Structure 1
Amino acid sequence: MKELRADIERAGLDTLSGRKAPRARVLLIAGRPGSGRSALAGELVRQVAADYPDGVLRTRLSDPDGTPVPVGRAARDLLDALGEPAPAGAPEDQLGEALRTALAERRAVLLLDDAADAEQVDALLPDNPGCLAVAVSSGPLTGIADVRPCTLGGLDTKSGVELLSRFTGSVRITVDPRAAERLAEQCQGQPAALVLAGGWLAARPKAAVADLAKQLHTDPGAEPMTARLLRLVHDALPQTAARTLRLLALAPAGLVDPHTAAALTGCSVEAAHTTLDDFAAHGLLHSVGSSLPQYRVPGCLHRELLRLAEDHERPAELQLARARMLERTVRLLQSCRAVTETDSPEARQKVLALPRPLRFPTPRAAADWLRLRRPALLAAARLAVADGELDTLARRLMSQLVRAMVAHFGTRGAAGDLYDIHNLVLDVAERRELPRERAAALLNLGDLDARTGRTTEALARYRAALDAGREANDPYATGRAMESVGGAHLELGDYDRAADWFGRALAERLARDERPEAARLYGRIGAAHTYAGRYGEAMRNWRAAVAGHRRDGDVAAQARALSELGRVQEYAGRLEESLRTCREAVEWARRAEDTRLQAALHLRLADSYERLGDPASAALHRSTAGRMLAEEATEGDSEPEHGANACEIRTASAED
């Protein structure tokens, strides 16, 4: 720790050569898994956090199985921790640049745990010498300049004995200090092995330290000491607890809560919670500091637990355990979403029909659970899709995850996660040849691309969705794709193609007698003609939209369509007609109780009266608009977000 603290203040090569340090100082803690490298990094960050007022940002750069985490995902997690928006679906280099921009004026600490290579770390380093990056890795990060690794070996014998005494108490160490020293040496001073040895002794108050040292000596084996001790602990556990321990290797992202453990083993949530607490007390799990009981499987134990599971469980039993875990997650997500539907009697009945452990008391509790379990839920979706044999469960899981996220965070708030989920849906749909779901995933991805300004990419998605919709003979997907293609062309400034595609979508709606959608499409065609300067065609289509909304009794839509008709008439130089249309629109907006539209229309009337040389009437309408906007501001102008349909995952048909 002293060396690391001194290294923070050490002059770098740039400083010695007279140049300003271009990037954050990087500290590297290198060591094998189980050497205490993450614990040392966490303690260092805790000690220096006060010197960095903008906080500590943490992310893991490897999954529990050793797979490197994509840089884009890590950058997005760090941006989320900073509260900075990250564009959905953005490439890695754009996310890395967004992270560097966010940290350009901040003093923060980045803890990059379990880095697989230098490229991962380099892509996340801020161009700000006021920041500090603490990287944890198994070896040197060749390629990052001016980094001196702090390499961890094993603890000295005295420190190893002290670590053992935290579990065994001082009496057993004092009775036989030589045995304790021998055990510490057998563990090669590795903290993880010493913790497992201490936990084994703590669970057996009558066992002497010499008993464990002798057992390890008589059974040397070829495995690393951590693996030997884990097997020893596992074999000494009761059968149910031993099975729970080895099945924890299946927990997504190495994160376990009582529900996950209960589903994996088929026991009650209360029994699973008790077992997990016992494991944490004996060093087999690390408790995650959060408002919900949650634990992390140590990275140095994950592969060994997986080997134990494969040795003791048949493949079919492991697959069944995964399926139970995914099914429990689906039901929790259903409950998480249903608790937000407080106005729906059907939703309340669904919640009451669930077992008590699966219910959330309040929407706030459900949102907190969803936020804290988010990494594990996303990892569960990725693992389910990668498995390839649980696609039905994977589709249900992703459907419920999308709905829960939209219900609690909104479409925009969860856009980054939704983009990843829809890509997973697309993978399953293509693998299983499900054109309806492929169309839905492509539409959702196209919407998210369009929302973040990638209109060309969105257009390609919409065209592919149109082909998939036609293949599935799905009129909903086909019509929606046509309209979306038109919208993309409109955004790209190709107004003729936009009007053409809107017209095709309109023909589909009229053929199915979908009048509200047809009225809306008349308006979109009118907008395309307006942008193209064809005001006659635009007015004709807006009048058709007004008539359609009037027939359907949609007062608010009728008011908005009249507003747009008045705008086009003003563009066309028909000021008197525009005034009459706007006054009619004001009346319909008043009936619809749309204060903002009323205010906008009064401002437009004010502009028109000024052009006609009537300043008194203009001032009257302007003051009326100001009063309306002020009244609405005092009442609060927050509106619920309606974006669930944009991220819908269509349920497969019976044929699928």
Structure 2
Amino acid sequence: MTDQAVDTGGARLPGRTPVVSHFLGRTRELKELRADIERAGLDTLSGKKAPRARVLLIAGRPGSGRTALAEELVRQVAHRYEDGVLRARLSEPDGTPVPVERTARELLTALDRPAPPGAAEDDLSEALRTALADRRVLLLLDDAAGAEQVDALLPDTPECLVVAVAGGPLTGIADVRPCTVGGLDTKSALELLTRYTGSVRITVDPRAAEGLVEVCRAQPAALTLAGGWLATRPKAAVADLAKQLHTDGDEGTPLSRVFRLVHDCLPAPAARILRLLSLAPAGLIDPHTASALAGCSVSGARTTLDDLVTLGLLRALDSPLPQYEVPGCLHPLLEALSETHDRPAELQLARARMLERTVRLLHSCRAITETDNPEAREKLQGMPSALRFPSPRAAADWLTVRRPALLAAARLAVADGELDTLARRLMSQLVRAMVAHFGTQVAAPDLYGIHQLVLDVAERRDLPREKAAALLNLADVDAQTGRTAEALVRYRAALDAGREANDPYATGRAMESVGGAHLELGDYDRAADWFGRALAERLARDERADAARLYGRIATAHTYAGRYGEALRHWRVAASGHRKHGDVAAQARALSELARVQEYAGRPEESLRTCWEAVEWARRAEDVRLQAALQLRLADTLERLGDPVAARLHRGAAERMLGNELPESAPEPGPTEHGANACEIRSTSAED
């Protein structure tokens, strides 16, 4: 989710956390809201226990200070909620509702609870409610687009409190306590202006100041822009600004009139940068984003951004790296100005420059982790200094801070539809950078979403090779998270796409994965059949190492089906293939499985001999864990053969190898061992 920060135990996640300033006015509203927290709900009055968290609604138009009021309420009552404060914004800057799935996932991550990649919205909502069931949390949901979003995130515990910010009522949520926000009182509005102008210009002409407040209808956002305009013109009187706004007539809202005036007074380069910021993904800007959009230097962009903060046109965020946010109330105004002042081709070019800069930064972010590679090091040194990171830690910090904007950039690039080549490059570099810095497992939820976007582009552009790669990656995650039936459907679709692209890698991988999915589902005959098809492909291409591995997978399927004769034959072929290929460790594992099946088949003496052979090959491969597991298997076999003394010796040898944490007997093979799981092969296509 692009708009979230969390405050639990004093820690904050990078995201939209504006720099806190002194709060003004709203005394009556705060008093009423705090009273509503204590007031008995409808369920309590009827003698029932409240089934869900209390919901307080702060409703008002953008620019009315509704979010600032919510933040001040949270600040005042946060000490009552010992498990902290969670924050989430439920709308994108352009007003598009944020999917509940994304919001729930980010909140679960903030709570250190698992959020399986690709999980359905209902499952994630239920997981969030479960995570909050034994907590006392304050949940701030900003810019809610509708009651459905809020309802899906409500905790099922009255010990939690939800503060929702929206433009109107949340019809459908029971017992909501609404607070409608209008303009500030005159005293607070004048104090807000004084922060920018100083007290002299207000006190020398109080009527003009009150007139300006009236023109702005005491709306905090409009007053902030008016104050910023006056602050940069110390010789201008308050009356001059009020007169200009009166002259402009009553067209538009007070905020739009002040905004147009401030924009028209900006130098042309700064005004252009301001308009182009409407293209910033998720409304999050850093100097590189502004520099790429405008085609100027990074230092020049940083100076302009700071100037726009002074004018109240941007907000600086509390972030370890320079980062800014377009206020939500200004985003539609910026878009309208861009459509008026800038040609569509110019906007598309600016968007392309921004995506290209992002691709290069992601490439640099990944390359800094490969400094032991001379070729990567040389490429990194060839990049401009402004795009290079001083260390892997600095690159990881940048990736963490910019993650919401980077994911939003990928979504917007794909939605655009005209920049698919850049979108594909962006997603490829984003996947590689995340894997390099966070690891596949940690980054899995984000990677799942990116692979879905890759699939969208591949289907739109009729790119069967990339479609196959995306389907394989998505299916791997589905299989890993227990959605085996869904994975099977995607593996079959990947097989069709691979055949269409005439891609032998994708075709063979999909066949093997289809077999792995059937194995996981317990359909051993189909599993063996699909492994056999994949084996034929490997043999036809003389890929002996993969063929040996597939013989083992076929043997596993036969073992589960109880066909021990077939299993023994295939394990012997697998061990022979690994031996010919020179893979000692794989040969040892194959012999280990052969010994296991021999024991299942009632041949303990043969199993004992094979196990001894496997121990020797495991020793040569220096695989200590396998040696220990084999020693335990020897112990079990010897006990069955009536030799407890020798069994104790082997068990003691295993314990000396790995300590006292070993199980009492060798583990039985499951569908996920020795390559039987469809997720065992983690190869990624070059496009990804």
Q: Which residue of 2 aligns with 1:170?
A: 199
5+ long unaligned stretches in structure 2? 1-29, 663-678
Q: Distance in 2 between matches of 1:429 and 1:447?
A: 18
Q: Which residue of 1 aligns with 2:668?
A: none
1:651 deviates by 2.9
Q: Distance in 2 between matches of 1:282 and 1:357?
A: 27
1:299 maps to amino acid = G
1:215-234 correspondence to structure 2 within 5 Å? 215-234=244-263
Q: Which residue of 2 aligns with 1:47?
A: 76
1:47 deviates by 2.2
1:545 deviates by 1.3
Q: Distance in 1 between matches of 2:284 and 2:547?
A: 49
Q: Which residue of 2 aligns with 1:457?
A: 486
Q: Which residue of 2 aligns with 1:419?
A: 448
1:559 maps to amino acid = A
**Equivalent position to 1:542, from 547, 568, 571:** 571
1:461-476 correspondence to structure 2 within 5 Å? 461-476=490-505
Q: Distance in 1 between matches of 2:218 and 2:571?
A: 79
Q: Distance in 1 between matches of 2:542 and 2:369?
A: 34
Q: Which residue of 2 aligns with 1:154?
A: 183
1:631 deviates by 9.1
What is the aligned residue count? 643
| Residues 1:180 and 2:216 aligned together | no
Q: Distance in 2 between matches of 1:647 and 1:253?
A: 32
1:195 maps to amino acid = T
Q: Deviations over 1:57-107 (max 9, x none)?
A: 111111111111111111111111111111211111111001101111111
**Equivalent position to 2:395, from 355, 363, 366:** 366
Tell me if structure 2 keeps the 8 A contact 1:110–1:134.
yes
Q: Residues 102 and 590 from structure 1, CA distance in 2 versus in 1: closer, same or farther, beyond 3 angstroms?
A: same
Q: Which residue of 2 aligns with 1:636?
A: none
Tell me if structure 1 keeps the 8 A contact 2:54–2:162.
yes
Tell me if structure 1 keeps the 8 A contact 2:639–2:647.
yes
Tell me if structure 2 keeps the 8 A contact 1:58–1:112.
yes
Q: Which residue of 2 aligns with 1:112?
A: 141
Q: Residues 478 and 192 from structure 1, CA distance in 2 versus in 1: closer, same or farther, beyond 3 angstroms?
A: same
Q: Which residue of 1 aligns with 2:461?
A: 432
Q: Which residue of 1 aligns with 2:156?
A: 127
| Residues 1:26 and 2:52 aligned together | no
1:293-308 correspondence to structure 2 within 5 Å? 293-308=322-337
**Equivalent position to 2:276, from 222, 247, 257:** 247
1:302-321 correspondence to structure 2 within 5 Å? 302-321=331-350
SS of corresponding position for 1:648: coil
Q: Distance in 2 between matches of 1:354 and 1:554?
A: 40
SS of corresponding position for 1:2: helix
1:202 maps to amino acid = A
| Residues 1:8 and 2:43 aligned together | no
Q: Deviations over 1:144-166 (max 9, x none)?
A: 11112111000111111100111
Tell me if structure 1 keeps the 8 A contact 2:604–2:637.
yes
1:644 deviates by 12
1:127-146 correspondence to structure 2 within 5 Å? 127-146=156-175
Q: Residues 370 and 650 from structure 1, CA distance in 2 versus in 1: closer, same or farther, beyond 3 angstroms?
A: same
Q: Distance in 2 between matches of 1:631 and 1:142?
A: 61
2:351 maps to amino acid = R
Tell me if structure 1 keeps the 8 A contact 2:588–2:615.
yes
Q: Deviations over 1:213-240 (max 9, x none)?
A: 1100111141111111111111111111
| Residues 1:594 and 2:602 aligned together | no
Q: Distance in 1 between matches of 2:593 and 2:450?
A: 37
2:598 maps to amino acid = Q
Q: Which residue of 1 aligns with 2:684?
A: 648
Q: Which deviates more from structure 2 when the two are superposed, residues 164-173 or residues 592-601? A: 592-601
1:340 deviates by 1.9
SS of corresponding position for 1:20: coil
1:526-605 correspondence to structure 2 within 5 Å? 526-605=555-634
Pick the structure with more helix per residue.
1
Q: Deviations over 1:358-402 (max 9, x none)?
A: 122222222222122111111111110111100000011111111
Q: Which residue of 2 aligns with 1:69?
A: 98
Q: Which deviates more from structure 2 when the two are superposed, residues 313-322 or residues 371-380? A: 371-380
Q: Which residue of 1 aligns with 2:230?
A: 201
Q: Distance in 2 between matches of 1:574 and 1:362?
A: 59
1:429 maps to amino acid = A
Tell me if structure 2 keeps the 8 A contact 1:30–1:140.
yes
Q: Deviations over 1:428-458 (max 9, x none)?
A: 1111011101111111111111111111111
1:159 maps to amino acid = S
1:330-349 correspondence to structure 2 within 5 Å? 330-349=359-378
Q: Which residue of 1 aligns with 2:126?
A: 97
1:327-406 correspondence to structure 2 within 5 Å? 327-406=356-435
Q: Which residue of 2 aligns with 1:288?
A: 317
SS of corresponding position for 1:299: coil
Tell me if structure 1 keeps the 8 A contact 2:197–2:231.
yes
Q: Distance in 1 between matches of 2:126 and 2:295?
A: 46
Tell me if structure 2 keeps the 8 A contact 1:403–1:648.
no
Tell me if structure 1 keeps the 8 A contact 2:63–2:222.
yes
1:340 maps to amino acid = T
Tell me if structure 2 keeps the 8 A contact 1:399–1:648.
no
Q: Residues 235 and 313 from structure 1, CA distance in 2 versus in 1: closer, same or farther, beyond 3 angstroms?
A: same
Q: Distance in 1 between matches of 2:400 and 2:528?
A: 42
SS of corresponding position for 2:370: coil
Q: Distance in 2 between matches of 1:231 and 1:264?
A: 21
Tell me if structure 2 keeps the 8 A contact 1:436–1:650.
no
Q: Which residue of 2 aligns with 1:630?
A: 659
**Equivalent position to 1:507, from 530, 536, 557:** 536
5+ long unaligned stretches in structure 1? 634-642
2:631 maps to amino acid = H
Tell me if structure 1 keeps the 8 A contact 2:524–2:560.
yes
1:78-93 correspondence to structure 2 within 5 Å? 78-93=107-122
1:100 maps to amino acid = R
Q: Residues 286 and 631 from structure 1, CA distance in 2 versus in 1: closer, same or farther, beyond 3 angstroms?
A: farther
Q: Which residue of 2 aligns with 1:260?
A: 289
Q: Which deviates more from structure 2 when the two are superposed, residues 595-604 or residues 530-539? A: 595-604
Tell me if structure 2 keeps the 8 A contact 1:23–1:127.
yes
1:245 deviates by 0.5
Q: Which deviates more from structure 2 when the two are superposed, residues 576-585 or residues 422-431? A: 576-585
Q: Distance in 2 between matches of 1:95 and 1:130?
A: 21
Q: Distance in 2 between matches of 1:97 and 1:107?
A: 17
Q: Residues 632 and 281 from structure 1, CA distance in 2 versus in 1: closer, same or farther, beyond 3 angstroms?
A: farther
Q: Distance in 1 between matches of 2:382 and 2:594?
A: 51
SS of corresponding position for 2:450: helix
1:650 deviates by 4.0
SS of corresponding position for 2:252: coil
Q: Residues 308 and 113 from structure 1, CA distance in 2 versus in 1: closer, same or farther, beyond 3 angstroms?
A: same
1:268-287 correspondence to structure 2 within 5 Å? 268-287=297-316
SS of corresponding position for 2:58: strand
Q: Distance in 1 between matches of 2:498 and 2:544?
A: 21
1:594 deviates by 1.8
1:46 deviates by 2.1
1:647 deviates by 7.1
SS of corresponding position for 1:587: helix
Tell me if structure 2 keeps the 8 A contact 1:335–1:351.
yes
Q: Distance in 1 between matches of 2:70 and 2:659?
A: 53
1:40 maps to amino acid = L
Tell me if structure 2 keeps the 8 A contact 1:402–1:647.
no
Q: Distance in 1 between matches of 2:79 and 2:372?
A: 46
